[in-house]
Amino acid sequence: MLDHRHVRLPNQSKHDENNYTLGSIAGHNIAIACLPEYGTNKAAIAAKSMQATFPNIRFGLLVGVGGGVPGPITDTGPANDIRLGDVVVSLPAGQGGGVVQYDLIRREVDGFRRVGVLNKPPTLLRTAVASLRAERRLGRQLTGLIEEAFVPDDESCEDQNGDDEADRWTYPGTERDVLFRPGYKHHCGANDCVKCIAAKGAGDVITRRARKTTHPKIHYGNIGSGNSLIKDGLERDELAQRDNVICFEMEAAGLMDDFPCLVIRGISDYADSHKNSSWQPYAAASAAAFAKQLVRTITPQDVDRLAPIQGHWSILSVDLDLPFARNLRFTGRQDVLSQIQEYFSGDATAPRTLLLYGIGGIGKTQIAAHYAHAIAKDSLAVCWADARDKHSVESGLTRIAQCVLRSLILHYGEQVAPTIFGFSDVTSLLSDDPVPPRTTQDAIRALKSWLRKKSNRGWLIVFDNYDNIEEFNIEEYFPNADHSRILITSRRPDLQRTVGKALDISGLDDGSALQLLLSGNTMYKAEDTPTSPSVRAVLRKLCNLPLAIVQANAYINNRRLAMNDFLQQYEQQFDRPMGQKPRGPWNYDHVVNTTWEVSLAAIQAEDILAAETLLTCSLLGNTAILPEMMQRCIPGIRDRRLYDSAWHAFSKGRLHKAERACRKLLLALENTETTEDLTGSFLKAQMLQAQIMAKHKDGCKSEYGYKLANNLVRQIVSSKFYKKDPQSLHHVPEYGQMLLSRGDTEGARIYCRNGIQLMMDTGAPKEMILYWLDQYCDLLFRLGYCSEVKPHLRWMLNESLDTTRKCDILGKLSILLMSQNEFGELELVARQLLDLERDNISKWGDSGRIIFPTVFLCTALFETGRGTEAAMVADESLRLHQKDVGAEDPNTVFLEDFLRELRNGRLPEVSYKSD
């Protein structure tokens, strides 16, 4: 169909596995890629991969074959007179946008309802289709294109098998276009419908009026797309009526929302069981001919005016957690915020970098955070990175890359997202383990590349506290895009020469400072009014510095002071020799130091240990301080804080951090005189550590994990700690499972049995007992101790169980009874199980669960000489299952074969597992 063929690509993107045919039609450059297999995901991956090699693609045409919906028969013939070889084009009809995803539905009270609507084809393509619809001889034109494309010559008249190649692409003939009644099934084992025609009865073939020509007709409307192949006439008609579609295929739903395209399908079958490949070449040729004619109606100039497709592969927003919650007491700074907004709202075709500089405590970070929160809802992403050092920057950007990749996975799925983001080592980046240095660098490069894409406009990166400009250059981490927006906070005014705009942040204006002081002061006295001299004097002393005002408020509230009292204490502290430092005209550093020293002096007077802890904290960075680092300053609460820290880290999935905290806690407890309470603390720490090890990959298989579990179980049992905390007993059978993984089957059996017995003796929660007893029965099955299993299963059945668990226990008991040839008892158990599962079909619709109960009951009946009754049971289950899922379902076929064998007087062999 190409006017001209182009040479193959010398190379293509490493993320692109497509194989291309290149050429041109009517002045348009065309890239053709064939899908490796059916499925909406495969289509999405191929389309996205294509953009990696051809970033300037404007639109796509999805061309191929599909199953037609002939429509209901009327007096004048079918309402949609679709024949094999015709062409269907996706155009919006009714509530559909041209493509309807028929397997994206939601179950509701009154039935199933389709969820969501896919995008329409682009306006340019819809306009071109409208132009073609006006062509009176379009079908004849398509036939001409097909004949022109496949005229044989001396070189190409035969295929690899010596057959006439042109014959494959010509019209197969009206005698081979047979429309069967929707319920008439294809004869199994045949590649064509010769047997179907020979065996047909009256009404099995639908007679249609002969057409005057064999030119393909073009039909326009919704095309049904999904991941399941439609090959049943009854299901075809039901879905077609529900979703108003005239054709079915398996790729378009993966493209329509993100890859602007038109779907063109040649009809090669009627989406029923009578599928064969004889019409596929001609149907494909018809669709390709329509695609060529469509491209001819569009000028290259019209295409050039379109934006590249790549802009459509984006996401509405990335879920990024800013390091600060919105500060509801943020006061003033409207002039600064207005300047920031004005600057970033300017020319979107040039990069924008803004610097907020000023001394520490002046409010730079709070301003940046307030602005970030204000624009977050309307932005693609608002990214925040701590820029105090190189490691902090890279950690922050890696965290952002993780968030972006997770958002892409949520939007596009695990297969497509890595290609969009340009990053393949997903496992290393998103695992619980620390990210390796090489992965960190690759992730940052991928993030910068992703942010540079023209489609990803509307993002902001904040680099906070970039003061150490001699250590590293922050510009190394800029995405360098025309649409970039970067906000930097720093104490270094010399950065002004490297940015587009710089704002010098000074103290609050008088009104804002007064508002901040009084809004945060919950204990101020009646005499402390906005106009009182004492309030004004405090603000003058604090130089309107936000950090100093916040510190002063905290002290005033804690000590319940009047402003005059605070003023006296402040002046006393201010005049101390140790507080004297060189100062500028605003005394910023000295003001902050003084408010700090006032608070410290008050804490020292009340609790010297608390003061020592505060002093220790002051020597560390203000982020990521582990609580356990401080606990030795306060022995009375050290152990509790260590445990809480370990548990918090574990609950957040930070396994390495949790493991370190646990080890420190155990070491501290080992060096303390043993008491009853301490024993409990020690065991709780060990239990938490065991949970952490279990979460680690192969953690429990390691020697350290084995010794930890062994020691823990011995102490739980020997100290009788389980009487105080019965939940701790779950570690006993868990240790048994660990022994099983190490090959100690007898030890596994003993520990599981003894652990469950202790649970029963101490009144442990019933759910825990049932869980571990179920696990123990599975273990006994695997080890061959079948005689021990039955009493445990019977005990569980006597407990009040939910229906699902009761069915599972009955299933295991049936397997046991069948293995021991106890067919009389098996019949009773299997009947109870089958009745429950048949009742469940009306609740949950899962008829597959009746298969094995049917086998169990039929086996019991057959082995006791009641083969006819067994066949009746199997027949009833077959009809129930077929009604629920249809005749083509594998379980339906299984039941048909099973029933056939029973009727022939044989009991089929069926494999099953106890678990």
Asked whether residue 562 carries a pLDDT value surpassing 80, the answer given is no
Per-residue pLDDT tens over the stretch 756-781: 888 888 888 888 888 888 888 888 88
Task: Please list the residues that pair with 357 across neighbouring strands.
Answer: 490, 504
493-503 confidence digits (pLDDT tens): 888 888 888 89
732, 758 in Cβ contact below 8 A? yes
Q: Which of 421-430, 575-584, 729-738 has the lowest mean pLDDT?
A: 575-584
* CB 310 within 8 Å of CB 51: yes
* d(C-alpha 520, C-alpha 512), whole Å: 12
Q: Which of 358-372, 659-673, 736-750 has the lowest mean pLDDT?
A: 659-673
What digits encode the pLDDT tens for the residues 540-550? 777 777 777 77
Average pLDDT, stretch 89-110?
A: 70
Q: How far is CA 149 from the centre of its chain?
A: 45
Residue 219 has pLDDT above 90, yes or no: yes
pLDDT of residue 740: 81
**Helix segments in 453-543, DSSP class H:** 510-519, 533-542
* Percent of all residues in the chain with a pLDDT value above 70, rounded to a whole number: 71
Looking at per-residue confidence, does 297 or 350 come out higher?
297
Residue 882 neighbours by CB distance under 10 Å: 18
Q: C-alpha distances in angstroms, 778 versus 679, 775, 782, 796?
A: 34, 5, 6, 14
Q: How far apart are CA 762 and CA 542, in angstroms?
A: 64
Q: Rg of the chain's alpha carbons, rounded to an integer?
A: 37
What is the rounded average pLDDT of the residues 252-270? 83
CA neighbor of 789 nearest in space, from 815, 823, 754, 768: 815
Single-letter amino acid, residue 475: E
Predicted local distance difference test score (pLDDT) of residue 29: 92
Question: Residue 297: is its pLDDT beyond 50?
Answer: yes
- Residue 792 CA to residue 789 CA, distance in Å, equals 5
pLDDT, average across residues 607-623: 58
Average pLDDT value for residue range 574-594: 44
Which residue, chain included where needed, has tokens 């490493």? Answer: 14
64: pLDDT strictly greater than 80:
yes
Let me know: does 895 contact 870? Beta carbons within 8 Å: no
- The residue that leads in pLDDT, 157 or 827, is 827
| Token representation of residue 813 | 């008991």
- pLDDT number for residue 669: 46
User: Exposure of 461 by Cβ count < 10 A (0-12 exposed, 13-18 middle, 19+ buried)?
Assistant: buried
Token look-up 């407890």 returns 669
Residue at 384: amino acid letter: W
pLDDT band at residue 123 under the 50/70/90 scheme: confident
pLDDT of amino acid 898 = 87
- Residues of the chain with pLDDT > 90: what percent? 12
Distance CA 661, CA 654 (A): 11
Instruction: Quote the CA–CA distance of 144 and 146 in Å, as a whole number.
Output: 5
Sign of CA dihedral 815, 820, 821, 824: negative
pLDDT at residue number 692: 47
Alpha carbon distances (Å) from 133 to 121, 137, 282, 293, 327: 16, 10, 21, 11, 60
As a whole number, the mean pLDDT across the chain is 76
**What is the tens place of the pLDDT at every residue in 335-344?**
888 888 888 8
Question: For 670-684, what is each residue's pLDDT tens digit?
Answer: 444 444 343 444 444
pLDDT of res. 573:
58
In total, the chain counts a number of residues equal to 915
- Give the confidence band of 165 by pLDDT, cuts at 50, 70, 90: low
Q: List 261's β-bridge partners, or say none.
A: 60
Could you give the CA distance from residue 606 to residue 604 in angstroms, rounded to a whole number? 5
- pLDDT level of residue 632 (50, 70, 90 thresholds): very low
With a CB cutoff of 8 Å and minimum separation 6, the contacts of 761 are none
With beta carbons less than 8 A apart as the criterion, state whether 317 and 379 touch: yes
> Pick from 332, 320, 393, 417: which is nearest to 366 by CA?
332
Say yes or no to pLDDT of 628 above 60.
Answer: no
What whole-number distance in Å separates Cα of residue 244 and Cα of residue 546? Answer: 64
pLDDT at 470: 83
- The pLDDT of residue 762: 85
Would the pLDDT of 274 be above 90?
Answer: no
Q: Is 367 exposed, middle or buried (0-12, 13-18, 19+ CB in 10 A)?
A: buried
Mean pLDDT of 319-332: 68
User: Both tokens of residue 296?
Assistant: 């001819």
- What local confidence, expressed as pLDDT, does residue 633 receive? 42
Cβ count within 10 A of residue 742: 13
Distances (CA, A) of 101 to 96, 125, 450: 10, 21, 29
Q: Give the number of other Cβ atoms within 10 Å of residue 614's Cβ.
A: 17
> Of the ranges 108-112, 155-159, 256-260, 422-426, which one carries the lowest mean pLDDT score?
108-112
- State the Cα torsion 197-200-204-209 to the nearest 10°: 40
Which range among 519-533, 548-562, 575-589 shows the weakest confidence by mean pLDDT? 575-589
- When comparing pLDDT for 225 and 189, which is higher? 225
Question: Mean per-residue pLDDT for 312-321?
Answer: 51
Q: Are 39 and 50 spatial neighbours (Cβ–Cβ below 8 Å)?
A: no
Angle between helices 138-149 and 280-296 (to 10 degrees): 110
Tokens 């009040």 belong to which residue?
800
Coil/strand/helix, residue 800: coil
Backbone angles phi, psi at 757, to 5 degrees: -60, -40
Spatial separation of the C-alpha atoms in residues 772 and 779, rounded to whole Å: 10
Mean pLDDT of 877-905: 84
**Is pLDDT above 50 for 577?**
no
pLDDT range class, residue 364, cuts 50, 70, 90: confident
Beta partners for residue 262, in sequence order: 61
Under the banding of pLDDT at 50, 70 and 90, the label for residue 73 is low
**Selected residue with higher pLDDT from 264 and 160:** 264
Q: Taking Cα atoms as reference points, which of 846, 790, 779 lies closest to residue 818?
A: 790
Question: Do the Cβ atoms of 650 and 658 come closer than 8 Å?
Answer: yes
State the pLDDT at residue 588: 44
Among 887, 853, 894, 845, CA closest to 870: 853
Gap between the Cα atoms of 169 and 526, Å rounded? 96
Q: Which residues, at least 6 apart from 391, have a Cβ–Cβ distance to it below 8 Å?
A: none
Task: Find out whether 487 and 371 touch, Cβ atoms under 8 Å.
Answer: yes
SS3 544: coil
* Residue (of 636, 542, 532, 553) closest to 599 by Cα position: 553
Q: In what order do the strands lie in the sheet with 485-490?
A: 381-386, 459-464, 485-490, 352-357, 501-504
Residue 481 has pLDDT above 70, yes or no: yes
237 contacts: CB under 8 Å, gap ≥ 6:
69, 182
Distance between alpha carbon 139 and the CA centroid of its chain, in Å?
46
Q: What is the pLDDT of residue 708?
A: 61
Q: Residue 460: is its pLDDT beyond 80?
A: yes
pLDDT band at 316 (very low <50, low <70, confident <90, very high): very low
- Here the tokens at position 95 are 């509530």
Of 137 and 42, the structure prediction assigns the larger pLDDT to: 137
Q: Which amino acid is it at 614? A: L
Are 458 and 450 spatial neighbours (Cβ–Cβ below 8 Å)?
no
Which pLDDT band holds residue 79 (cuts at 50, 70, 90)? low
pTM over 0.85: no
Mean pLDDT (whole number) for 279-304: 93
Angle at Cα 792 formed by Cα 786 and Cα 793, nearest 5°?
A: 85
User: In angstroms, rounded to a whole number, what is the distance separating the alpha carbons of residues 782 and 703?
Assistant: 25
Widest pairwise Cα distance in the chain: 112
